Amino acid sequence: MRLATWNVNSIRTRLDRVVDWLARADVDVLAMQETKCTDNQFPTLPFLELGYEVAHVGFNQWNGVAIASRVGLHDVRVGFDGQPGWSAKPGADPAPEARALGATCAGVRVWSLYVPNGRAVGDPHYAYKLDWLAALRDAAAGWLRDDPAAQIALVGDWNIAPTDDDVWSPEFFAGATHVSEPERRAFQAILDAQFTDVVRPFTPGPGVYTYWDYTQLRFPKRQGMRIDFILASPALAGRVSAAEIVREERKGKAPSDHAPVLVDLRDD
């Protein structure tokens, strides 16, 4: 099975690129983030025509996550236990955001995750990001306590560069989000909960990235960040036979600012 994740940065803008790549790359399951549309606006038909079932959650023009699968799509769930909400309005109750979607595909529990950005160290959104990651860690650890043999993939845009090798210039990012120690500790806590970055062994750094800002010619200058990951439970990690960051998809007309990331899984 081939499992991929891609922050598409607006599925309606990037639809032709996404479905074309799906056909060419022979992907079985694609988790998408930042779809930027409501459920009613999501362009399901082109996926169905390619043989994919689709689950999506989107409440407005922000965030949004989806899973497209041609190997089954079962037990779809929006959000995980304890997932915190967000509100930018003083005094307003925090509301859930469209940032987590789970489904079982050919026996693999896939979670499409769009971790909050954090905006700036010390911003309320930064505290929300850390709370969100802590809740995800607790939920994921619970899934493995309940079933140590569970095959779980936590995939998506984590908005964290876990090491200095994962950014083009540690000095440029000093004091910013994505590289702060609390964020890196939050990411490490999920690894400590027995999840493994199964892409990095096949794509060693430094200088290997998944995201390049649209500004300042970051992509041709190779000034990027590695912030998109596939983290696998122990039972799933043992099935990974290959992995790739598909840098070519960041090229061409109207690309996303992220590249797809994929793994190949051996049969059980």
Cα–Cα nearest to 238, from 165, 151, 125, 146:
151
Q: How far is CA 242 from CA 203, 226, 245, in A?
A: 10, 18, 11
Q: Is 197 annotated as a binding residue?
A: no
Q: Is 171 annotated as a binding residue?
A: no
Q: Is 166 within any annotated ligand binding site?
A: no
**Gap between the Cα atoms of 40 and 12, Å rounded:** 12
The verdict on whether residue 9 carries a ligand-binding annotation is no
**Edge-to-edge strand order for the sheet containing 261-265?**
53-57, 65-69, 29-33, 2-7, 261-265, 240-245
267 is annotated as an active-site residue: no
Does the annotation mark 125 as catalytic? no
For the question of residue 178 being annotated catalytic, the response is no
Q: Which is catalytic among the residues 157, 166, 197, 228?
A: 157
The β-bridge relationship of strands 65-69 and 2-7 is unpaired
SS (H, E, C) 215-239: HHHCCCCCCCECCEEEEECHHHHCC
Non-local CB neighbours of 6 within 8 Å, separated by 6+ positions: 18, 30, 31, 32, 33, 228, 249, 256, 258, 259, 260, 261
- In the Cβ-directed half-sphere of 44, how many Cα atoms lie within 13 Å? 11
Task: In whole angstroms, give the CA distance from residue 79 to residue 102.
Answer: 7
Of 56, 166, 209, 258, the catalytic one is: 258
User: Rounded CA gap, 132 and 112, in Å?
Assistant: 14
Judge whether 178 is annotated as a binding position: no
Q: Annotation-wise, does 117 bind a ligand?
A: no
Instruction: Exactly one of 28, 56, 114, 166 is catalytic; name it.
Output: 114
Q: In terms of Cα–Cα distance, which of 68, 56, 63 is closest to 21?
A: 68
Residues catalogued as catalytic: 114, 157, 258
Annotated binding residues for Mg(2+), written as ranges, equal 7, 34, 157, 159, 257-258
